[in-house]
Amino acid sequence: MNKSTLLIAVLMLGIGIGTGYWLSGNSSSTVAVTEQDKKPLFYRDPMNPSITSPVPAKDSMGMDYIPVYADEDKPSSERKILFYRNPMNPSVTSPVPAKDSMGMDYVPVYADNEASEVAGTVKIDPVVVQNIGVRTAIAKQEAISRTIRAVGRVDFDEESMARFHPKVEGWIEEIRVDKTGQNVAKDDILLSIYSPKLVSTQQEYLLALNNLSALSKSQFDEIRQGAEDLVRSSRERLELLDVPEHQIQELEQTRKIKKSLHIHSPVAGTVIRIGSRQGQYVTPKTELYMMVDLSQVWVYADVYEYELPWVKLGDEVEMTLASVPGKTFKGSLDYIYPYAESKTRTTKVRLVFDNRELLLRPDMFAEVSIQSDTLNNAVIVPAESVIRSGSRTQVFVVRGPGKFEPRTVKLGIESSGQVAVLEGVAAGEEVVTSAQFLVDSESKLREATAKMMDALNSSKGISEDDSRSVESHKGMVHGSEEMTDHSQMEMDGHTDMEMSEQIDGSGHGVHDHD
């Protein structure tokens, strides 16, 4: 290699280094100029975008606030701007671009942001959602049954009650069952009664028997048949007066009239009232005994009006009593009374229970659980997810991360902390189960603000023609540099004063909102 070639190589290397240095310097200056031209509108908390600052800052975790530039929020020509909102106080809006007292530009609100959402839809930052303790649950499709609980009262079975009255007048000679609550078997002797009518009836029967024995050998069939008919009618009269069979047979054998005759119990049961005592004169109007069979009892329970549609005949019933701990009695619903109680606004139902062990005593109080029909394939949500506000019942459905939509629902039966949704929520949707009242208050605020803005826009009569005239006026202003500078100075001078007066007058500051 000669000297001339070496010299040319060194010269070309020098030229390349110089050119590269010049290009890199020019590029860095361009980047610096670009970064200087891009002035942040404000700075936003990276963990909570609703918190902003006009100057660089750090959050509680030491993270730098993220700058927000003007071109990031630059509206598209295809998107229609409804109004402009104060970034530090969303309740303060303006129909035209403006700045707040700190020099921050108002944030535009576009039509497509509001048109696709249901009125009252809430958007909450995920961090705020976690801080306020929002919990959700999935709506499931499954069977649900309703358990109706009520207080019951044990009573007698009216169908097994019996009242005894004598069929003749007379005097009580002897009383054998003389204690209330005494158990009596069928055909047990209750008392003995002397009645002149019974004595005369016995005499007639004895005469008929003697007449039959005298005419039994008569050659005339009519005479013999008449004597037999007289005996038969006399005996039937004794039976109709409740003279027991054994005393009639004794009368036929001994042919001696009994002064007092026995009255037997026609049924088995427990004596609950005694209406006569020994030596008392009684008539057919006198109630001698009142007895009832306690092998089966009735239980009366009161059901509220809103639970009545779920009760029907034949429903299974469970009952527990404080006097019989640990034992559950099973019965059935036997009758629903066709009237309601005016004072309690309840309807009485009658339940039937077996009481062969005699553990159920009338006038006892019991806790009753009526098992109503099961509703199959119902959409079930937790009962705490339902918000009852006046005539409206609603839940909040999760539409996305931090996005909650209010949904009016129609409810069915409720049991064991679950409620059936007949309309409004489908199976698989996610509903809010806690902190929904905070979400509901925010939803109502959003809905009221939207309605207020609609009314405000309607009253001002803002139309597309007015918007075009405003745009054309802005174009004329930007067409002249002197007019632009003047308008900008005028806006900077007056906007600060107007916005500060507006904030001071409304009583809401920026820090109060945050």
pLDDT digits (tens, 9 = 90+) for 223-280: 888 888 898 999 999 989 888 888 898 888 888 888 888 888 888 899 999 998 999 9
| Bridge partners of residue 324, in order along the sequence | 321
Name the pLDDT band for 9 (thresholds 50, 70, 90): low
More confident residue, 239 or 401: 239
Range name among 87-96, 302-311, 351-360, 379-388 with the lowest pLDDT average: 87-96
Please report how many Cα atoms fall inside a 13 Å half-sphere around the Cα of residue 500, on the Cβ side.
Answer: 9
Task: Write the CA distances from 499 to 40, 148, 166, 428, 503, integer angstroms.
Answer: 21, 62, 104, 48, 6
Instruction: Tell me which residue of 446, 419, 430, 424 sits closest to 134, measured CA to CA.
Output: 430
Rounded to an integer, what distance in angstroms lies between the CA atom of residue 310 and that of residue 288? 44
Give me the pLDDT at residue 196, please: 92
* Rounded mean pLDDT, 145-173: 90
278: helix, strand or coil: coil
Between 423 and 400, the higher pLDDT residue: 423
pLDDT at 498 exceeding the cut of 50: no
If you average pLDDT over residues 3-26, what whole number do you get? Answer: 61
Q: Nearest-CA neighbor of 425 among 409, 439, 436, 441?
A: 409
Residue at 299: amino acid letter: V
How far CA 479 is from CA of 251, 485, 486, 492, in Å, comes to 140, 11, 13, 19
Q: What is the mean pLDDT of residues 126-133?
A: 73
Distance, in Å, from the CA atom of 385 to the CA atom of 430, rounded to the nearest integer, reads 10
pTM: 0.50
- Contact assessment for residue 402 and residue 129, using Cβ atoms and an 8 Å cutoff: yes
Contact 396, 440 (CB under 8 A): yes
pLDDT above 90: residue 458:
no
Q: pLDDT confidence of 126, banded at 50, 70, 90?
A: confident
pLDDT tens for each residue of 48-85: 776 778 888 888 878 888 887 765 544 444 567 777 87
Burial 461-494 (b: 16+ CB within 10 A, else e): eeeeeeeeeeeeeeeeeeeeeeeeeeeeeeeeee
Q: What secondary structure does DSSP assign to 361-417, as a single string?
A: -TT-EEEEEEEEEEEEEEEEEEGGG-EEETTEEEEEEEEETTEEEEEE-EEEEEETT
**Among the listed residues 437, 440, 434, the one whose alpha carbon sits nearest the alpha carbon of residue 130:** 434
Binning pLDDT at 50, 70 and 90, where does residue 363 land?
Answer: very high
Which whole number is the average pLDDT over 437-444?
64
* Per-residue confidence (pLDDT) for residue 423, from 0 to 100: 87
